[in-house]
Structure 1
Amino acid sequence: MTITPPNISIFKQKALQWASVFDAVCYLDSNEFTDPYSKFDTLIAVGARAEVTAYTGDAFEQLETFRKDNPGWITGFFEYDLKNEVEKLSSQNPDGLEFPDLYFFAPQYLIVIKGETVEIIADDPQQMLELIEHSSVAVSSASVAVSDPSVAVSSPSVGVSLQSRFGRQEYVDTVEEIRGHINRGDIYVTNFCQEFFADGMQINPLTIFFQLNQISPNPFATFFKWKNNYIMGASPERFLAKRGSKLISQPIKGTAKREADSQTDELVKQELRNHPKELQENVMIVDLVRNDLTKSAKQGTVKTEDLFGIYSFRHVHQMISTVVCELRDELSAVQAIKNSFPMGSMTGAPKVSAMQLMEHYERSRRGVYSGAVGYFSPDDDFDFNVVIRTLLYNSVTGYLSFHVGSAITYHAEAEKEYEECLLKAKAILEVLGGVL
Structure 2
Amino acid sequence: MIVQVNDLPGFRIKALQWAATFDTLCYLDSNGFNDPYSKFDTLIAVGSRTSLNANAGNAFDKLDEFRKSNPGWMTGFLGYDLKNEIEALTSTNPDGLEFPDLYFFVPQHLILIRGEEAEIISDNPELVVRSIIEQGLIEPVQQANINLSPRFSRQEYIDTVNKIKEHITQGDIYVTNFCQEFFAEDVLLDPLEIFTRLNEVSPNPFSTFFKWNGNYILGASPERFLAKRGSKLISQPIKGTAKRMDDIEADEQAKQSLRSHPKELQENVMVVDLVRNDLTRSAKPGTVKTEELFGIYSFKQVHQMISTVVCEIKDSLLNVQAIKNTFPMGSMTGAPKVSCMQLMERYERSKRGVYSGAIGYFSPDDDFDFNVVIRSLLYNSSNKYLSFHAGGAITYHAIAENEYEECLLKAQAVMEVLGGE
Normalized against structure 1, the TM-score is what?
A: 0.95
CA–CA separation in structure 1 for the residues paired with 2:118 and 2:418: 32
Per-residue deviation, residues 393-422 of structure 1 (Å, max 9, x unmatched) = 000111000000000000000000000000
1:356 aligns with 2:342: yes
CA–CA separation in structure 1 for the residues paired with 2:107 and 2:44: 9
The answer to whether the Cα contact below 8 Å between 2:226 and 2:370 also exists between their aligned partners in 1 is yes
1:274 aligns with 2:274: no
CA RMSD between the two structures: 0.9
| Deviation for aligned residue 1:226 | 1.3
Q: What SS class does the counterpart of residue 38 from structure 1 fall into?
A: coil
Name the amino acid aligned to 2:31.
Answer: N
1:105 aligns with 2:91: no
1:431 aligns with 2:394: no
CA–CA separation in structure 1 for the residues paired with 2:90 and 2:310: 30
CA–CA separation in structure 2 for the residues paired with 1:281 and 1:28: 29
1:325 aligns with 2:294: no
Which residues of 2 match residues 59-78 of structure 1 at below 5 A? 59-78=59-78
The answer to whether the Cα contact below 8 Å between 1:142 and 1:208 also exists between their aligned partners in 2 is no
The answer to whether the Cα contact below 8 Å between 1:200 and 1:399 also exists between their aligned partners in 2 is yes
Which residues of 2 match residues 232-311 of structure 1 at below 5 A? 232-311=218-297
Name the amino acid aligned to 1:277.
Answer: K
Which residues of 2 match residues 18-417 of structure 1 at below 5 A? 18-143=18-143, 157-158=144-145, 161-417=147-403
Name the amino acid aligned to 1:102.
Answer: L
Name the amino acid aligned to 1:106.
Answer: V
CA–CA separation in structure 2 for the residues paired with 1:200 and 1:4: 44
Gaps of 5+ in 2: none
| Deviation for aligned residue 1:367 | 0.3
Instruction: Label 1:167 to 1:139 Cα distance change in 2 as closer, same or farther (>3 A).
Output: farther
The answer to whether the Cα contact below 8 Å between 2:148 and 2:420 also exists between their aligned partners in 1 is no
CA–CA separation in structure 2 for the residues paired with 1:68 and 1:114: 28
The answer to whether the Cα contact below 8 Å between 1:142 and 1:203 also exists between their aligned partners in 2 is no
| Deviation for aligned residue 1:141 | 4.0
Per-residue deviation, residues 125-149 of structure 1 (Å, max 9, x unmatched) = 1111111112123242455xxxxxx
| Deviation for aligned residue 1:362 | 0.3
Name the amino acid aligned to 2:362.
Answer: F
Name the amino acid aligned to 1:128.
Answer: V
The answer to whether the Cα contact below 8 Å between 1:166 and 1:194 also exists between their aligned partners in 2 is yes
The answer to whether the Cα contact below 8 Å between 2:294 and 2:306 also exists between their aligned partners in 1 is yes
Per-residue deviation, residues 251-281 of structure 1 (Å, max 9, x unmatched) = 0000000001111111110000000000000
Identity across the alignment (%)? 70
CA–CA separation in structure 2 for the residues paired with 1:433 and 1:166: 21
CA–CA separation in structure 2 for the residues paired with 1:357 and 1:363: 12
CA–CA separation in structure 2 for the residues paired with 1:336 and 1:40: 23
Q: What SS class does the counterpart of residue 374 from structure 1 fall into?
A: strand
Equivalent residue number for residue 405 of structure 2: 419
CA–CA separation in structure 2 for the residues paired with 1:262 and 1:279: 23
Q: What SS class does the counterpart of residue 273 from structure 2 fall into?
A: helix
| Alignment coverage as a number of residue pairs | 421
| Deviation for aligned residue 1:178 | 0.3
CA–CA separation in structure 1 for the residues paired with 2:364 and 2:341: 34
Per-residue deviation, residues 208-231 of structure 1 (Å, max 9, x unmatched) = 000000000000000000111000
Q: What SS class does the counterpart of residue 187 from structure 2 fall into?
A: coil
CA–CA separation in structure 1 for the residues paired with 2:227 and 2:168: 31
| Deviation for aligned residue 1:70 | 0.4
| Deviation for aligned residue 1:434 | 3.4
Normalized against structure 2, the TM-score is what?
A: 0.99
The answer to whether the Cα contact below 8 Å between 1:142 and 1:207 also exists between their aligned partners in 2 is no
